[in-house]
């Protein structure tokens, strides 16, 4: 088994890289998706979030009102730390269980947005950083995700600096260009990862 930590700034194209790797046969562990699952209605995770932040963070149907919670935590580092203290251990536990279920010759790709911020690089055999210039990220967030420029800049500022991510990278995927320039890079990465398994 080879474990990959995949990260990149918001709007850099990490999701597209994880989609491609998954299509080649990688076992994908998506931290964002798991983070949503562990706070679904009826979970201990959601109960803990409500205990910490109050009933106001619930939508009418009893699910987590993400925009409301985001409004609270993204403007207050202390509240963000409190949320992370609830969610991150649950995500780690679920990720570990999924990884344990993968076969010995699997390429396990952990899609972890905050890998650099949380200093998780040592947990993986290979760290892959999807990189794009800040101007490219900003353009994609505004044009493709419909954020205002102010929202996009705030989200980018809440993440690690580009240099911090690049400093932990074993492999850098340059996604500053068009989509068709991305696939050959990801294919080369996949072949390298398969070779690593063959050697071990």
**pLDDT band per the 50, 70, 90 thresholds, residue 196:** confident
Strand order in the sheet with 2-8: 27-30, 107-111, 2-8, 126-131, 171-174
**pLDDT band per the 50, 70, 90 thresholds, residue 137:** very high
Query: What SS3 class is residue 157?
Result: helix
Helix axis angle for 66-73 and 44-53, nearest 10°, is 50
- Considering only residues 22 and 200, tell me which one the structure prediction assigns the higher pLDDT: 22
- Spatial neighbors of 1 by CB under 8 A, at least 6 apart, are 99, 102, 103, 104, 105, 106, 107, 108, 197
What percent of the chain stands above pLDDT 70?
100
Ordered by where they begin, the domains of the chain are 1-26+106-200 (3.40.50.300), 38-104 (no CATH)
The closest alpha carbon to 32, from 71, 6, 69, belongs to 6
**pLDDT band per the 50, 70, 90 thresholds, residue 121:** very high
């Amino acid at each position: 088994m080879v474990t990959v930590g995949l990260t990149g700034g918001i709007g850099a194209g990490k999701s597209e890289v994880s989609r491609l790797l998954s299509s080649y046969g990688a076992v994908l562990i998506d931290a964002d998706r798991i983070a949503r699952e562990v706070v679904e209605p009826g979970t201990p995770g959601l109960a803990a979030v409500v205990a910490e932040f109050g009933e106001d963070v619930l939508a009418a149907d009893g699910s987590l009102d993400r925009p409301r919670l985001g409004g609270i935590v993204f403007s207050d580092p202390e509240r963000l730390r409190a949320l992370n203290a609830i969610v991150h251990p649950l995500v780690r536990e679920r990720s570990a269980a999924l990884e344990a279920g993968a076969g010995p010759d699997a390429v396990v790709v952990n899609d972890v947005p905050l890998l650099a911020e949380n200093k998780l690089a040592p947990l993986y055999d290979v760290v892959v950083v999807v990189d794009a210039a800040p101007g490219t990220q900003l353009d994609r967030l505004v044009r493709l995700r419909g954020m205002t420029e102010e929202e996009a800049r705030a989200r980018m500022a809440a993440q690690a600096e580009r240099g911090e991510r690049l400093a932990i990278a074993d492999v850098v995927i340059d996604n500053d260009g068009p989509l068709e320039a991305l696939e050959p890079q990801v294919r080369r990465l996949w072949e390298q990862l398969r070779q690593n398994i063959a050697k071990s």
